[in-house]
Structures are given as C-alpha cells and as structure tokens.
Amino acid sequence: MADKRYSSAQAALDGLTSENMTVAVGGFGLCGIPEQLIIALRDSGVSGLTAVSNNAGVDDWGLGLLLQSRQIRRMVSSYVGENAEFERQFLAGELEVEFTPQGTLAERMRAGGAGIPGFYTRTGVGTVVAEGKEHRDFDGVPHVLEAGIRADLSLVKAWKADEAGNLLYRKTARNFNPAAAMCGAVTVAEVEEIVPIGDLDPDTVHTPGIYVDRIVQTVSEKRIEQRTTS
C-alpha cells in the first residue's frame, strides 16, 4: 500500500495545484476547515480558482485568505455572511458567485462523488436559484435539476486518520467534510492524529480511505468565529 502520509501541508499539495482549477473545501464557518492546507494553497500562488465551499471563511482566516490574495475567481457557496472582503468583491463585480441552498450544495458534492451527474429537488423552485435550470414535475410538484459537483482537488479536515487514509471527524466538525472528500478527483486530508492501520474501528469510519489520496498531520489554531461573552 502506498504511503499517504506527507510531512507538511505544502508537501501534501505538491504537484496538485494548477491555474483555474476547482477546489472543494470542507468546513462550516471556521469549524472543521483545513486551515493549514488553505494556507499552503495560498502560498502556492495559483489563481483563477473556483472554490466550492459552504462559506468563504472570515476576512483573515480560512478561504478569506484566498480572497485577500485575489486567488479565487468564483465561489459556489450557500452562506457568506461573515466576510466583508467577499461582500466588497461581489458588489464590485470582481468575484463570480453561484449561490446554492445549503442542503443542495451538500447533495451536489455527494452526488458528484457517487458518480451521479444530476438530481431533481424542490428546493429553490420559484427563486433565482432555479433560473435557467431544467424543471420537471413529480407527482404534480415542480422540481429543479441540479448538477453534481466534481472538483479537481478536495481539501478536508479530520480528527483522526489511519495510515490508509480512513478518516474520523469530531462532532460538528464533520459538517461538509465527508461530501467534499467524496467529490474531489484528488483529496488531501489535514488531520490532528495519524494512527496505525487497525487502530480504528471500521464501524466508526466516516470517510473510507479509498476517497483519500494524501494525509498530513497538523496543529490547528481553531479560531473562534464569533466570540460572545457576558
């Protein structure tokens, strides 16, 4: 079995990045984002990126770093309310945005990973989300056709991995990560701990190693998106 372990986030992305590529990124807000892989992607200097992610991070962390460096050309997202730079670029016409309902986005990523090119859903019918898309009635109810998403590269964050790349996520940090891991032609996982093969109970694995090409152990900063005190 090929060794999937890499010594650093930069090494884990070596040879995988290219201009105008599509990158799927796990996480929700700042929870469960591949922090160090995003930094490594920024430092690679590639531009013209299409980023598929629930959100765009905040101004100085997560995908917000790639917006600051102007490396993202297009975002496919469901929630972007915490990033002022995203707002500025969008309103100035500097950033293309495809808004997608949150559940639809998760299913588009999962479907792409499962080899399903498209599916019909009621979500978004009658709104701008459905404009220009094929419609079809099921049991007299209109549905809109949504395309599955396949990314050139997926970046995900997990709690534990074994040496075969089987992944466990911790609590709500699972969020979009399993779907993102599935839809990438190549998937790189940033993890907090790597254990020997056999240490993980197969029944607890969230993402099978067949979806994961490279893993790197990092130390997360785990920043708080909105700190509330009393």
DSSP 175-206: TTHHHHHHHBSSEEEEEEEEE-TTSS-GGG-S
Q: Does residue 107 lie in a domain region?
A: yes
Q: Does residue 37 lie in a domain region?
A: yes
Q: Does residue 128 lie in a domain region?
A: yes
Q: Does residue 222 lie in a domain region?
A: no
Q: Does residue 225 lie in a domain region?
A: no
Task: State the alpha helices, DSSP H only, in the chain.
Answer: 9-13, 35-44, 64-68, 84-91, 102-113, 177-183
Report the pLDDT value the prediction gives residue 226, as an integer from 0 to 100.
78
- Whole-angstrom CA distances from 10 to 34, 53, 64, 73, 127 are 13, 21, 19, 22, 41
Cα gap 132→146, rounded to integer Å: 11
Structure tokens at 213: 């090409």
Q: Does residue 56 lie in a domain region?
A: yes
Report the pLDDT value the prediction gives residue 222, as an integer from 0 to 100.
80
pTM: 0.95
Q: Which burial class, exposed, middle or buried, applies to 1 when counting CB atoms under 10 A from its CB (0-12, 13-18, 19+)?
A: exposed
Query: Per-residue pLDDT for the chain (230 aa), expressed as one digit of tens each?
Result: 778 999 999 999 999 999 999 999 999 989 999 999 999 999 999 999 999 999 999 999 999 999 999 999 999 999 987 889 999 999 999 999 999 999 999 999 999 999 999 999 999 999 999 999 999 999 999 999 999 999 999 999 999 999 999 999 999 999 999 999 999 999 999 999 999 999 999 999 999 999 999 999 999 888 888 788 88
Q: Does residue 223 lie in a domain region?
A: no
DSSP state of 115: T
Report the pLDDT value the prediction gives residue 228, as an integer from 0 to 100.
85
Report the pLDDT value the prediction gives residue 190, as an integer from 0 to 100.
98
Contact residues for 129 (Cβ-Cβ < 8 A; gap 6+): 99, 100, 101, 104, 123, 144
> What is the domain extent for residue 55?
5-117+124-217
Report the pLDDT value the prediction gives residue 70, as an integer from 0 to 100.
97
What is the CATH classification number for the domain harbouring 44? 3.40.1080.10
Report the pLDDT value the prediction gives residue 220, as an integer from 0 to 100.
86
Report the pLDDT value the prediction gives residue 7, as an integer from 0 to 100.
97
Q: Does residue 104 lie in a domain region?
A: yes
Indicate the number of domains in the chain.
1
Report the pLDDT value the prediction gives residue 142, as an integer from 0 to 100.
98
Looking at residue 75, its amino acid is: M
